[in-house]
Amino acid sequence: MPSPYFALFAAPGTKAFTAAGLLGRMPLSMMGIGVVTMVSQLTGRYGLAGTLSGTIALSAAVAGPQVSRLVDQYGQRRVLRPAMLLTLAAAAGLLLAAHYQWPDWVLFVCSAGVGCTPSLGAMTRARWAAIYRGTPQLHTAYSFESVIDEVCFIFGPIISIGLSTAWFPEAGPLLAACFLAAGVLWLTSQRATEPEPHPREQHGVGGSALRSPGLQVLVLTFVATGTIFGAVDVVTVAFAEEQGHKGAASVVLALYAAGSCVAGIVFGLLRFAGAAERRWLLGVCAMAVSMIPLQLVGNLPFLAVALFVAGLAIAPTMITTMALVEEHVPRAQLTEGMTWVSTGLAVGVALGSSVSGWVIAAAGAEAGYGVPAVAGAVAVAVGFLGYRRLRRPAAQREGTHERHGERDDHERPGVA
Residue among 315, 347, 392, 129 nearest 219 (CA):
347
Query: pLDDT at residue 395 above 70?
Result: no
**Cα gap 332→107, rounded to integer Å:** 36
Instruction: Write out 50-105 in H/E/C secondary structure.
Output: HHHHHHHHHHHHHHHHHHHHHHHHHCHHHHHHHHHHHHHHHHHHHHHHHHCCCCHH
Instruction: Decide if 5 is inside a domain.
Output: no
Mean pLDDT of 100-106: 92
pLDDT band at 46 (very low <50, low <70, confident <90, very high): low
Domain shared by 192 and 217, yes or no: no
Domain shared by 190 and 215, yes or no: no
Domain shared by 47 and 121, yes or no: yes
Domain shared by 349 and 241, yes or no: yes
Among 9-13, 285-289, 376-380, 405-409, the minimum mean pLDDT is found in 405-409
Query: What CATH number does residue 346 fall under?
Result: 1.20.1250.20
Determine the pLDDT at residue 384: 94
Determine the pLDDT at residue 241: 78
Domain shared by 96 and 227, yes or no: no
* Dihedral sign (CA 350, 353, 354, 355): positive
Mean pLDDT of 225-247: 81
Instruction: Decide if 10 is inside a domain.
Output: no
**Cα gap 184→104, rounded to integer Å:** 30
The tens digit of pLDDT for each residue in 398-413 reads 434 433 343 333 333 3
Instruction: Decide if 229 is inside a domain.
Output: yes
The answer to whether 170 and 164 are in contact (CB under 8 A) is yes
Contact residues for 176 (Cβ-Cβ < 8 A; gap 6+): 26, 27, 30, 31, 34, 91, 156, 160
Within 10 A of 101 (CB to CB), how many other CB atoms are there?
A: 10
Mean pLDDT of 329-341: 81
Determine the pLDDT at residue 165: 78
pLDDT band at 36 (very low <50, low <70, confident <90, very high): confident
Tell me the pTM: 0.76
**Cα gap 57→354, rounded to integer Å:** 12
pLDDT band at 392 (very low <50, low <70, confident <90, very high): low
Query: pLDDT at residue 100 above 80?
Result: yes
Instruction: Decide if 89 is inside a domain.
Output: yes
Instruction: Decide if 2 is inside a domain.
Output: no
Domain boundary among 197, 227, 251: 197
Top pLDDT among 246 and 303 is at: 303
Q: Above pLDDT 90, what percent of the chain?
A: 31
Domain shared by 305 and 185, yes or no: no
Domain shared by 162 and 284, yes or no: no
Query: pLDDT at residue 50 above 80?
Result: no
Determine the pLDDT at residue 303: 92
Domain shared by 51 and 114, yes or no: yes
For residue 72, the enclosing domain spans 15-197
Top pLDDT among 220 and 199 is at: 220
Determine the pLDDT at residue 150: 76
Domain shared by 175 and 217, yes or no: no
Domain shared by 187 and 212, yes or no: no
The tens digit of pLDDT for each residue in 113-137 reads 998 888 888 899 889 988 998 888 8
DSSP secondary structure letters along 375-396: HHHHHHHHHHHTHHHH---HHH
Determine the pLDDT at residue 364: 82
Determine the pLDDT at residue 200: 63
Mean pLDDT of 296-305: 88
Instruction: Decide if 219 is inside a domain.
Output: yes
Q: At what angle do helices 120-132 and 137-166 cross, to 10 degrees?
A: 160
Residue among 31, 264, 54 nearest 146 (CA):
264
Domain shared by 77 and 172, yes or no: yes
Count the domains in the chain.
2
